[in-house]
Structure 1
């Protein structure tokens, strides 16, 4: 199926680039430049994915995530900011992932494929992200391979405890405790390029009551630990 995408971006050059890159998937793209225009589009029809600029002339892009017309469509943020705390806040707000501009057309299309694969086939797993993204980790750590290796080792040491804490919170029905652990884990995933864990953490954070999201999280943790 050809995904129907809502693109919200106020810069004309960025909007034209993102729209053209997404349409090459192929995809149908409706591009607007304000939150007000996006809300009109949301009321008029349903989308398979939202691509939302983090900062728009009439407010923060994350405010769209509270729209009643969202109907569980996954949303990706895009921003020129690269500070880790800013990216973490956007994920905490409910974005599945955050794309840092400038980005390549291939990186955008890969992110769209990952996001839309989650909703195809009634939520069945259609495509998995790779366990590790070396390029992303090297970018986060200034190209230092030794730092990547060291942090991945530490990440793998800490992962069982985080996994068990999430599972315990799920059994107790404590969504706040679960989200707190997932929030910390999400930042670590980004630093070390743990792509499958990152996707699973984002999905469970967005739907802490979902048995499917919890099962995916536990499976991703097991696969990641088995890669040592």
Structure 2
């Protein structure tokens, strides 16, 4: 089973930290570490737990969240009330993969997490990448070509990301996403009914066909 992506949340307001934690924990394929409230706590937790993703505020009592992103060497999304262009540019220069303005609808963070999971899945492993792989990863991360209101569930997004450009069985998709075969089968059937994926049959030695799924292009 694929390990969930571990997320560290940094916000000096503990109520905000707990809110973000609940959103992260509700998303398939993610788990939130206990939120931290200062740069000092965040640095210690990054060293000890090595999270996959950091959700950080910009202005903190003991310093600057953007500077932490630059030094931490892990993927990060900045979540801040700072809406001036220089701050956003500085965040992106420092390596942030996303920037979310407070206040925001929880669906905005969910959408960012969904895209991040697909981006990570596409760039997983050590295989050589083609230019179109890099282009697709960036397009996914920044939501290129997707409507603001995405109707697909978070799990369906992860199922589609698991399929990528190839084909897979329900059991293989379940293993990649970290869900049961039955759950993967249910989501694949729903996607097939909407013609988002196509079903292919592969005949093995027993003569019983195996259902294989591939995303439609």
Q: Give the superposition deviation at 1:131.
A: 2.5
1:54 and 1:79 in contact (8 A); partners too? yes
- Larger Rg belongs to: 2
- 1:25-104 matched pairs, under 5 angstroms: 25-26=27-28, 27-30=30-33, 31-67=35-71, 70=72, 72-104=73-105
2-structure distance, mates of 1:16, 1:102 = 15
Task: Look up the match of 1:108.
Answer: 109
2:9 and 2:54 in contact (8 A); partners too? yes
2-structure distance, mates of 1:108, 1:61 = 18
Alignment pair present for 1:122 and 2:92 = no
1-structure distance, mates of 2:116, 2:93 = 17
How many residues get paired? 133
Q: Give the superposition deviation at 1:62.
A: 1.5
Give the 3 Å change call, closer, same or farther, for CA 6–93 of structure 1 in structure 2: same
Unaligned runs of 5+ in 1: 137-228
Alignment pair present for 1:131 and 2:149 = no
Task: Look up the match of 1:17.
Answer: 19
What secondary structure sits across from 2:120 in the alignment?
Answer: coil
Unaligned runs of 5+ in 2: 150-217
What secondary structure sits across from 1:39 in the alignment?
Answer: helix
* Residues 118-167 of structure 1, C-alpha deviations (whole Å, 9 max, x = no match): 3332277597354246659xxxxxxxxxxxxxxxxxxxxxxxxxxxxxxx
| Alignment RMSD | 2.5
Runs of 4+ residues over 6 Å off in structure 1: none
2-structure distance, mates of 1:23, 1:104 = 16
Higher strand share: 2
Higher helix share: 1
